[in-house]
Amino acid sequence: MPSHHNIAGIVLAAGEGTRLRPLTELRPKPLCPVGNVALLDHALNRLKPITGDGPSNLAVNAFHHAGQIQAHVSDRAHVKVEAPESLGTAGAVANLKPWLDGRHALVTNADQYLPDGLKGFADGWDGERCRLLCTPATTRRDFTTPDGTAVCYVGACLLPWDLVKNLEVEITGLYEVLWRQEMEKGRLDLFVLPETTVAIDCGTPADYLAANLHASSGRSVIGEGAQVLGTVTDSVVWPGAYVGPGEVLERQIRAGTRELSVTVAG
Query: Rounded to whole angstroms, how far apart are CA atoms 240 and 204?
Result: 22
DSSP 126: -
What phi and psi, each to the nearest 5 degrees, are found at residue 236? -125, 125
Q: What is the pLDDT of residue 4?
A: 56
Of 114, 94, 92, 135, the closest CA to residue 41 belongs to 114
| SS (HEC) of 199-262 | CEECCCHHHHHHHHHHHCCCCCEECCCCEECCEEECCEECCCCEECCCCEEECEEECCCCCCEE
Task: Give the pLDDT means over successive 10-residue stretches in the chain (266 positions).
Answer: 73 89 90 96 97 96 93 95 91 96 97 95 94 87 81 94 94 92 91 92 94 96 95 95 93 84 80
Looking at the fold, whether 62 and 175 belong to one and the same domain comes out as: yes
Q: What is the pLDDT of residue 3?
A: 44
Residue 210 maps to a domain: no
Looking at the fold, whether 57 and 98 belong to one and the same domain comes out as: yes
* Domain interval for residue 169: 4-130+154-187+196-200
Looking at the fold, whether 110 and 24 belong to one and the same domain comes out as: yes
Residue 146 maps to a domain: no
Asked whether the beta carbons of 72 and 53 are under 8 A apart, the reply is no
Q: What is the pLDDT of residue 1?
A: 40
Q: How many residues does the chain have?
A: 266
Q: Up-side HSE of residue 240: CA atoms within 13 Å toward CB?
A: 4
Query: Rounded to whole angstroms, how far apart are CA atoms 146 and 190?
Result: 9
Residue 12 maps to a domain: yes
Residue 103 maps to a domain: yes
| Residue that finishes a domain, picked among 146, 165, 200 | 200
Looking at the fold, whether 109 and 31 belong to one and the same domain comes out as: yes
Residue 213 maps to a domain: no
Q: Up-side HSE of residue 224: CA atoms within 13 Å toward CB?
A: 5
Centre a 10 Å sphere on the Cβ of residue 266 and count the other Cβ atoms it contains.
Answer: 7
DSSP 179: I
Query: Rounded to whole angstroms, how far apart are CA atoms 154 and 142?
Result: 10
Q: What is the pLDDT of residue 5?
A: 61
Q: What is the pLDDT of residue 28?
A: 92
Residue 55 maps to a domain: yes
Query: Rounded to whole angstroms, how far apart are CA atoms 101 and 73?
Result: 22
Number of domains in the chain: 2
Q: What is the pLDDT of residue 16?
A: 82
pTM: 0.92
Looking at the fold, whether 182 and 245 belong to one and the same domain comes out as: no
| CATH code, domain with 50 | 3.90.550.10
Looking at the fold, whether 180 and 246 belong to one and the same domain comes out as: no
Q: What is the pLDDT of residue 144?
A: 83
Centre a 10 Å sphere on the Cβ of residue 109 and count the other Cβ atoms it contains.
Answer: 24
Residue 205 maps to a domain: no
What phi and psi, each to the nearest 5 degrees, are found at residue 85? -130, 160
